[in-house]
Structure formats: structure tokens, C-alpha cells
Structure 1
Amino acid sequence: MSLSEKELLKRCDEMCKNTLMETLEISFCEVGKDYLVAKMPVNPRVHQPDGVLHGGAMVALAESVGSAASHMFLDANEFYIRGIEISANHVKSIREGHVFARAEVVHQGRTTQLWDIKIRDEENNLISIVKLTTIALPKAK
């Protein structure tokens, strides 16, 4: 039996308790057949010293949504998901509001998964483009 979109998003949010994702106030807001969207508030907690969103916070958002997507599309009871490579290009700065990271699968192999993640602001302006590779490691039985 497959979970509803609401149940999947709730499960993703529950995985974030007491983690970096909770510290950054990342929450999951949309899921589809081959994508997952998360949002993060832009405020002084995630700013660099000159008052714009820190690139590292964007990379943390991107890795969080890509890894959560891998968890959703693989059996999380059988695999650990780890990010093994990430590359980001920050193309626009932002000082306030929210950013939304949409992870779309490019390659979904049994062992590795490749994600294209676009981070946009509330007006749909492109803020950052991220490529994430994850690996599925079998859990010991």
C-alpha cells in the first residue's frame, strides 16, 4: 500500500527532528512521482555576515531534500542513504523570505542516484543550482 502525499511529507518532516534540518527550519512541502520539494526560511540564522543567505545553508538544504528524496524512492528499511558528491552554483542572493529546493531525479540506479536541485525564492527566481549524488548502502541484516 502506498503512502499518500501528505503521509510522505509528514514522514520526511519527522526524520528531521533533532537534526541540522530542524535547526535550519527545513520542512517538506510537495512530492511527486520523481521529485521532492523542501522550503527553508531566510533570516539572520542562515545569513552570512553581510546579511544574505549563506551558500552553505543552501547546500545543506539541497543535500537534505535530495537525500530525503532518495529515502522516499528507495526502501529506507533496507538502505542507508549518503551524499557522496555535491556541487553548487549560487546565481542570486536573497536576504529574507523563503527558499524552495526542488530535487528531481536524473538517474535512479540501485546503488547511486543523481539529483538536479534548483533553489528558488518565493517569486520563482533562481537562487542556486545544485547537483547531488547519493549512494544507497545496504543495512546489515
Structure 2
Amino acid sequence: MSDHEGTQLFHQTMPFTERLGIEVLEHSPQIVRSRLAWDPTLCTLGGALHGGVLMSLADATGAVCAYLNLSEGKQGTTTVESKTNFLRAIRSGHATATARPLHAGRSFIVVETEIRDDEDKLAAKITQTQAVL
């Protein structure tokens, strides 16, 4: 189920994602899905994945989604705004992020990302704006 090409794209363009252990499940201009495994070294004292870890997962997934929606001749994107709503803790299994483009313009790309647990329960909802470079 792993998308080896997508995982390599993440790790080569954002080495931090390899350190977090992010694995890509699917990548296309319409949808990017990735996940990371729960690990006690990525948690708060209560055993929940740290919010910063979840935000990193969402930011990386959204960034690749934006990159895959660039207009011809454009080189990349950079996050200029990100808003996260945390809805529930993830204390085991995987956090799976699914990013979809909401708007792909010439100057900005807006991406919406959901993070779900292994029971498909919504843990976080993220909207980010990427500036086109």
C-alpha cells in the first residue's frame, strides 16, 4: 500500500519527513495521502502524538499537494499560512493525512488536509495557503 515514489519525493525534498518516519500512501494532483506511526518519542506526557508532529505531517502532505498543482513553469511553493483544529488525540497506530487542493491559482494554492486515526476518526483539520514561487 506504500507509494515508494511519493515517499522518496517527501524524503528528498523535505529530509525532516524521513526523520519523522512519514510514509506516502498515494500522491497525485487531486489527493496526497501520507501517514506516520505512533511512537512514544513523538508524544506528549499523556501518550498522545504531539500537535507539532501532526502539524508537520499536515504541512508536508499539503506542501506536496500544492507542488503537484503548480502551473507550468513554476518552481515550488512555500507555506505562508496554516490553521489547525485539533479534534481528538492519537494514542496508538497511525496518523493518516489526506490533502486536497481547494484553490490552485497563479500566486497562491490553498490546501485542506484531514488527519485521521486508524479507526478513521477525524483528529485534526488543517487549511494552509502556499505561495507559488
> How many Å apart are 1:76 and its aligned residue?
8.8
Alignment: residue pair count: 130
Cross-structure match for 1:121? 117
Identity of aligned residues (%): 25
Whether contact under 8 Å (1:67, 1:134) holds in the other structure is: yes
The question of 1:14 aligning with 2:8 is answered yes
Structure 1: how far apart are the matches of 2:45 and 2:72?
Answer: 38
Question: 1:79 aligns to what SS in structure 2?
Answer: coil
Out of 120-129 and 33-42, give the one that drifted further.
33-42
> Please, which of 39, 42, 46 is the counterpart of residue 46 of structure 1?
42
> How many Å apart are 1:20 and its aligned residue?
1.0
> Please, which of 104, 108, 113 is the counterpart of residue 108 of structure 1?
104
Structure 2: how far apart are the matches of 1:83 and 1:127?
Answer: 22
Structure 2: how far apart are the matches of 1:19 and 1:49?
Answer: 26
- CA displacement, residues 39-64 of structure 1 (integer Å, 9 cap, x when unaligned): 11111121112211101101000000
1:1-141 aligned at under 5 Å gives the runs 9-15=3-9, 16-17=11-12, 19-74=15-70, 78-137=74-133
5+ residue gaps, structure 2: none
Cα root mean square deviation, aligned: 2.0
TM norm structure 1: 0.83
Whether contact under 8 Å (1:119, 1:128) holds in the other structure is: yes
TM norm structure 2: 0.88
Cross-structure match for 1:3? none
5+ residue gaps, structure 1: 1-5
